[in-house]
Amino acid sequence: MERVGVVGCGLMGAGIAEVCSRAGLDVVVAESNEAAAAAGRARVAKSLERAEAKGRIESASEVLGRLRVAAELEALADRDIVVEAIVEDEAAKTDLFRKLDKIVVSPTAIFASNTSSIPIMKLGVATSRPQNVIGVHFFNPVPVLRLVELVPSLLTSADTTERARALVEGRLGKTAIDCQDRAGFVVNALLIPFVLSAIRMLESGFATAKDIDQGLVLGAAHPQGPLALADLIGLDTTKAVADSLYDEFKEPLYAAPPLLARMVDAGLLGRKSGRGFYTYD
């Protein structure tokens, strides 16, 4: 696979596009409109410039030359694999997969989702080729974190899984782990209840955000505390994953705390909005 498509050039989509371009692949990113396309290209360019300044790549312009950002899905017609990285919403994702099924020409093209919680089966059956649909879940920041979760559904073919593994490990240099098609997969099924527990602790007045985070950083050797991590993930994404986990398992530990729901309603989404549990410049 040499021709990669990415749908969405937000935080995750831009990161996926960047690592694919850095690996020498031909990348086309589809955004919803011209303004979003321009913003997405600028996001990737800024990240590549930082990487060049730190000596991680030789030429930002050379890498960026392998990437094109378009404002229409039709630009993905000739892709060997398309990675979906749009909003964590089941209806939006299934609608996108229906459209891609009609647009992407190759019968062997892989449709991959970067979803962190939505069952891959639901996305696969929205297409006429569910055997080609697989979860390929990257972690933020994509250029830095090495893990990728591979999530085949019951209908995903073994060939699709192994081709996706070859791309992730052989070309992108990531480490893949295999996951069952269950909401949250491996990492978020463990991580999100931990983050929600920290939010409940803050909500109850048991401790401050700073003390909760310092407790885990200094007392458990975590690289950052759970509330700072939630801000990095995005509180809207954290809630979306929690909702998917609760819908699937009906376990109280997966239920989003009221504080989290109110913050999302208020647009306090963490780093990307400038304010969450902490305030950011």
- CA-to-CA dists, residue 169 to 98, 176, 186, angstroms: 28, 7, 18
- List, in sequence order, the alpha helices (H) in 175-252: 187-203, 209-220, 226-233, 235-249
Model pLDDT, residue 84: 97
Is 137 tagged catalytic?
yes
Predicted local distance difference test score (pLDDT) of residue 117 = 82
What does each of the 281 residues of the chain score in pLDDT, given as a tens digit? 899 999 999 889 999 999 999 999 999 999 989 999 999 999 999 999 999 999 999 899 999 999 999 999 999 999 999 999 998 889 999 999 999 999 999 999 999 999 988 899 999 999 999 999 999 999 988 999 999 999 999 999 999 999 999 999 999 999 999 999 998 999 999 999 999 999 999 999 999 999 999 999 999 999 999 999 999 999 999 999 999 999 999 999 999 999 999 999 999 999 999 999 999 98
In this predicted structure, what is the pLDDT of residue 118?
A: 87
Which is the catalytic residue, given 21, 113, 188, 244? 188
Q: Which of 47, 137, 153, 244 is catalytic?
A: 137
> One of 116, 117, 132, 153 is an active-site residue; which one?
116
Residue 2: active-site member: no
The pLDDT of residue 116: 84
What's the pLDDT at 11? 87
Cα 275 from Cα 279, distance rounded (Å): 4
| Predicted model pTM | 0.89
* Known active-site residue 149: yes
Which of 31, 132, 149, 153 is an active site residue?
149
What is the pLDDT at residue 128?
Answer: 97
Q: How far is CA 128 from CA 95, 100, 107, 113, 257, in A?
A: 13, 10, 10, 16, 38
Say whether 222 is catalytic. no
Give pLDDT, residue 140: 86
